[in-house]
A and B are shown apart, each in its own frame.
Chain A
Amino acid sequence: MIAEKTLVAITGAMASAHAMRQINPDVVAAYPITPQTPIMMNFTQFAADGLVDTEVVTVESEHSAMSACVGAAAAGARVMTATAANGLALMHEIVYIAASTRLPIVMSIANRALSGPINIHCDHSDTMAERDSGWIQIFCENAQEVYESTILAMKWAEKENVLLPVMVNQDGFIISHAVENVELLPDDVVKEFVGEHIPHAPLLDVEHPVTYGPLDLYDYYFEHKRQQIEAMKEAEKVFPQIAAELSEITGNEYDFIESYKLDDAEYAIVTLGSSAGTVKYVVDEMRGEGKKVGLLKIRVFRPFPVKRIAEALDGKKAVAVLDRSASFGAEAPIYSEVKSALYTVKERPILQSYVYGLGGRDFTPEHARTAFERLIKGEFFEGEGYLGLRE
Chain B
Amino acid sequence: MAELKTWKEIPIGGLTEAGSSTRFLTGNWRVERPILNTEKCINCLLCWVVCPDMSIVVEDGKVTGMDLDYCKGCGACAAICPVKAITMEPETKFQR
Contact = CB atoms under 8 A, between A and B. Distances in A.
A383 interface: no
A100 B14 CA distance: 7
Interface residues of B, number: 16
The prevalent SS among residues of B at the interface is loop
Interface string B1-15: 000111100111111
Interface in A213-255: 213-214, 216, 219-220, 222-224, 226-227, 230-231
A102 interface: yes
A211 B16 contact: yes
Contacts of A200: 12-13
Interface stretch (B17-25, B28-36, B78-86): B17-25
B13 A216 contact: no
Nearest to A226: B7
A185 B17 CA distance: 42
Nearest to A101: B13
A216 B14 contact: yes
A231 B14 contact: no
Nearest to A161: B12
A300 to B, nearest CB: 22
A210 interface: yes
Contacts of A209: 17-19
Contacts of A102: 12-13
Contacts of B17: 209-211
B5 A103 contact: no
A224 B16 contact: no
A212 B15 contact: yes
A224 B19 contact: no
Most A CB atoms within 10 A — which of B6, B15, B21? B15
A222 B10 CA distance: 12
Contacts of B15: 101, 201, 210-212
A163 interface: yes
Given A219-B4, A223-B5, A210 B18 contact: yes
A224 B9 CA distance: 11
A163 B12 contact: yes
A258 B11 CA distance: 36
A214 B10 contact: no
A212 B11 CA distance: 11
B21 to A, nearest CB: 8
Contacts of B20: 211, 214
Most A CB atoms within 10 A — which of B12, B16, B18? B12
A338 B16 CA distance: 39
B71 to A, nearest CB: 20
A201 B14 CA distance: 11
Contacts of A211: 15-21
B38 to A, nearest CB: 36
A201 B11 contact: yes
A348 to B, nearest CB: 35
A69 to B, nearest CB: 15
Contact of B14 (A163, A214, A219): A214
Most A CB atoms within 10 A — which of B5, B13, B20? B13
B13 A201 contact: yes
Contacts of A214: 14, 16, 20
Contacts of A212: 13-15
A103 B20 CA distance: 22
B12 A231 contact: yes
Nearest to A223: B7
Contacts of B11: 201, 210
B13 A163 contact: yes
A379 to B, nearest CB: 49
A7 to B, nearest CB: 41
Contacts of B5: 223
B69 to A, nearest CB: 19
- When A and B form their complex, which 6 residue pairs have the shortest distance between CB atoms, in order from nearest? A209-B18, A102-B13, A223-B7, A226-B7, A101-B13, A211-B16
Given A101-B14, A200-B12, A209-B18, 9 more contacts: A102-B13, A103-B13, A211-B15, A212-B15, A214-B20, A220-B10, A223-B10, A226-B7, A231-B12
12 contacts: A101-B15, A102-B12, A163-B12, A201-B11, A201-B15, A209-B17, A210-B11, A211-B18, A220-B14, A224-B10, A226-B7, A231-B12
Interface of B: 4-7, 10-21
